[in-house]
Amino acid sequence: MYTKTFTAETQRRRGFIPAQFGHLPASLFLSLCLCVSAVQIIAQTEQPPAPSAPKTVSIPAVQEKKLSNGLTVAVIQRTGNPLVTVQLLVKTGAAAESSDKAGLANLTADMLTKGTKTRSATQIADDMAFLGSALNSGAGWNSSTVSFTTTPDKLDQAMAVMADVVLNPAFKQEELDLLKSQAADELKYNLKQPSFIANYVASKYSFGEHPAGGTPSSIAAITRADVAAFHANYVPSNSVLIFAGDVSLDQAASLATKAFGSWNGATIQPTGKGSSIGRGQKKDVARMLVVDLPNSGQASVTYALKVPQVGRSDKRFYDASVLNSILGGGYSSRLNYEIRIKRGLSYGAGSSFGWRGDNANFSTRVQTKTASAAEVAELTLAEIKRLSADAIAADELTPRKSVLTGNFGRSLETTAGLANAIGELYGFGIPASELNSYMTGVNAISDAQIKDFAAKNLAGGDLIFVGDYAVFKDDLAKRFPGMTVDVIKVDDLDLSKDNLRK
């Protein structure tokens, strides 16, 4: 038998050996290939190491002092840390605004840094930049905040600027007009995006709330008088001044007294619990809504429902948190595995709980190609049902708990993260000591608790689609026979109305 042998140069030219290896003898190149192949086979067959034992995080106790004007000063001291974060938490947010003035809480918070009686917006930014810092302000559903981070030696000067913006805001009309214009432009763009529309629709349709970010009509309706009136919620008895970092309680109390000792205001009742609607239906899907967005390249698929009587302070918060980690709380979660990794139907699929005082807003979210919308909805429901039907093995449950505790531990490594965690507890009226109970609470959750929570709380939600209905209409009817579909053309959508129609 005749066998032809090629030189290494001939093999390189004919493509048998890559150009970068052409200077090597053919026998040596083949040996290298065998070695690489062996390593690849070993890597593919070798089992990854088992997760290590859960770690604990010891957090210093939160120290408190109440000033004579009613302002609570809370300190979590970490000596040796080069930074201190100061956060003023006001226990009033978007829950206190009316639906026709949705967005007012956030606009009010934003306006604080846009000028005071003695400083312009530029001067505020320059003064903080000189101190190596910046003032951040904003509002969520439950609370409003103003915060900064700086070195301990700059605290006195930075506190003076913070107190000025909180106590002496100018609320200049031109600054308000600019913020409203920016908000309107942002909404104009966002309300063409399927996922954004779905989130806004779920707020009104499924959760019984107005969109906290505002709607085009509500933003346009907000006046300077509205902002000034909402600012009346910024009073010491309704606020907590949080210090996290290398500062003692005595130092913090002294700084707080100097900056905010003259702050006065009427006592008000904290808000932020949200609505407590709940249809209590046991069937898989209570309602199905389609916002028809013709010619959209993609579709958004959302499953949403209000979970009544399970608020942030309820112990079932931990059941829900671990459940969410399994279902849609990260890349390795069930939804993302089934929809993205296994089937390639989306760049990402997830779920979340939005916490209120006495209830929670649960939702899943997936953006997919329009033709796959009905299939994604079916897959989502199957994963939700599986939570209450099948056992959750330890080799899945333990890593998903580790994701939660690991993220929690990392979030507390910075002074800003520590201040935010403390602020969340104060905002919901939860004892600050609960922070040290988080890891224990997560790790104590069992498979049975998750199955029970899912069975009692996750059925009977709404399926919300935003996309080109003509593309997935037939498939939707096939996969959900007999289901009534409420269809709203996107041009007829009005987020300020209870029926969502103009």
State the SS3 of 263-296.
CCCCCCCCCCCCCCCCCCCCCCEEEEEEEECCCC
Asked whether residue 344 falls in the same domain as residue 216, the answer is no
Number of structural domains, the chain? 2
Q: Report whether pLDDT(49) > 90.
A: no
Mean pLDDT of 51-79: 86
Q: Report whether pLDDT(107) > 80.
A: yes
Q: Report whether pLDDT(31) > 80.
A: no
Asked whether residue 161 falls in the same domain as residue 86, the answer is yes
Given 227, 260, 293, the domain boundary residue is 260
d(CA 419, CA 244): 6
Question: The whole model's pTM is what?
Answer: 0.86
Query: Within a domain: residue 182?
Result: yes
> Which pLDDT belongs to residue 266?
72
Mean pLDDT of 465-477: 98
> Which pLDDT belongs to residue 80?
87
Tokens 């920016």 belong to 182
Beta bridge partners of 116: 169
Query: Within a domain: residue 164?
Result: yes
> Which pLDDT belongs to residue 59?
85
Asked whether residue 461 falls in the same domain as residue 366, the answer is yes
Asked whether residue 433 falls in the same domain as residue 343, the answer is yes
Per residue in 296-337, pLDDT tens?
989 999 999 999 999 999 999 999 999 999 999 999 999 999
Asked whether residue 94 falls in the same domain as residue 196, the answer is yes
Query: Within a domain: residue 499?
Result: no
Asked whether residue 444 falls in the same domain as residue 371, the answer is yes
d(CA 45, CA 39): 10
Q: Report whether pLDDT(289) > 80.
A: yes
Whole-number Cα distances in Å, 438 to 57, 406, 407, 409: 9, 11, 12, 10
Asked whether residue 181 falls in the same domain as residue 315, the answer is no
Stretch among 20-24, 150-154, 335-339 having the lowest mean pLDDT = 20-24
Asked whether residue 104 falls in the same domain as residue 249, the answer is yes
d(CA 235, CA 48): 54
> Which pLDDT belongs to residue 267?
72
Segments forming the whole domain that contains residue 459: 285-492
Specify the CATH number for the domain of residue 386.
3.30.830.10
Query: Within a domain: residue 13?
Result: no
Query: Within a domain: residue 266?
Result: no
Per residue in 372-425, pLDDT tens?
999 999 999 999 999 999 999 999 999 999 999 999 999 999 999 999 999 999
Asked whether residue 76 falls in the same domain as residue 207, the answer is yes
Nearest C-alpha neighbor of 230 from the set 111, 87, 395, 88? 111
Banded model confidence at residue 272, pLDDT cuts 50, 70, 90: very low
Query: Within a domain: residue 315?
Result: yes
Asked whether residue 242 falls in the same domain as residue 299, the answer is no
Given 198, 225, 260, the domain boundary residue is 260
463 vs 274, more confident: 463
Asked whether residue 221 falls in the same domain as residue 308, the answer is no
**Joined tokens for residue 166:** 């909180």
Q: Report whether pLDDT(1) > 50.
A: no
Banded model confidence at residue 4, pLDDT cuts 50, 70, 90: very low
Query: Within a domain: residue 352?
Result: yes
Mean pLDDT of 55-84: 91
Q: Report whether pLDDT(68) > 90.
A: yes
> Which pLDDT belongs to residue 265?
78
